[in-house]
Amino acid sequence: MTTHVQPAANAAPRSAADELHPVLTALLGDPLGVRVSFWDGSTTGADDGPGTLHVRTPEALRRILWAPGELGLARAFVCGDLDAEGDIIDMLTAVRHRAPREQPWVRDLPGAVAAARRLGVLGPPPPPPGIEFRPRSLRRHTIRRDADAVGHHYDVSNEFYAMVLGESMTYSCALFPDDDTGLADAQAAKHERVCRKLGLDRTPGSRLLDVGCGWGQMAIHAAQHHGAQVVGITISTEQAALARERVAAAGVADQVEIRLQDYRELRGETFDVISSIGMSEHVGSANLVRYFETLRALLRPTGRLLNHAISSIGGSKLPTRGFIHRYVFPDGELIDVGDSVLAMQRAGFEIRDVESLREHYARTLRHWVANLEQHWDAAVAEVGVERARTWRLYMAASSVGFTDGGLNIHQVLGVAPDADGHSAMPRVRPL
Instruction: Per residue of the chain (431 residues), give pLDDT as tens.
Output: 445 554 445 545 799 999 998 888 877 778 889 999 999 999 999 999 999 999 999 999 999 889 887 888 999 999 999 999 999 999 999 988 777 666 555 556 777 888 889 999 999 999 988 877 665 555 566 666 666 666 666 667 899 999 999 999 999 999 999 999 999 999 999 999 999 999 999 999 999 999 999 999 999 999 999 999 999 999 989 999 999 999 999 999 999 999 999 999 998 999 999 999 999 988 888 899 999 999 999 999 999 999 999 999 987 766 667 787 788 877 678 899 999 999 999 999 999 999 999 999 999 999 999 999 999 999 999 999 999 999 999 999 999 999 999 999 999 999 999 999 999 888 877 65
CA 248, CA 398: separation in Å to the nearest integer?
Answer: 33
Q: CA distances (Å), 303 to each of 95, 261, 299, 409, in order?
A: 46, 22, 5, 23
CA 410, CA 358: separation in Å to the nearest integer?
Answer: 8
The correct CATH number of 143-415 out of 3.40.50.150, 3.40.1370.10, 3.10.520.10, 3.40.50.720 is 3.40.50.150
- The model carries a pTM of 0.90
CA 38, CA 137: separation in Å to the nearest integer?
Answer: 41
CA 167, CA 217: separation in Å to the nearest integer?
Answer: 10
Number of CB atoms found within 10 A of residue 174's CB:
27
Start and end residues for every CATH 3.40.50.150 domain found in the chain: 143-415
The pair phi, psi for residue 160, each rounded to 5°, is -65, -45
CA 397, CA 204: separation in Å to the nearest integer?
Answer: 40
CA 302, CA 198: separation in Å to the nearest integer?
Answer: 11
Return the beta strands (E) in 47-126 as ranges: 51-55, 82-86
CA 134, CA 130: separation in Å to the nearest integer?
Answer: 10
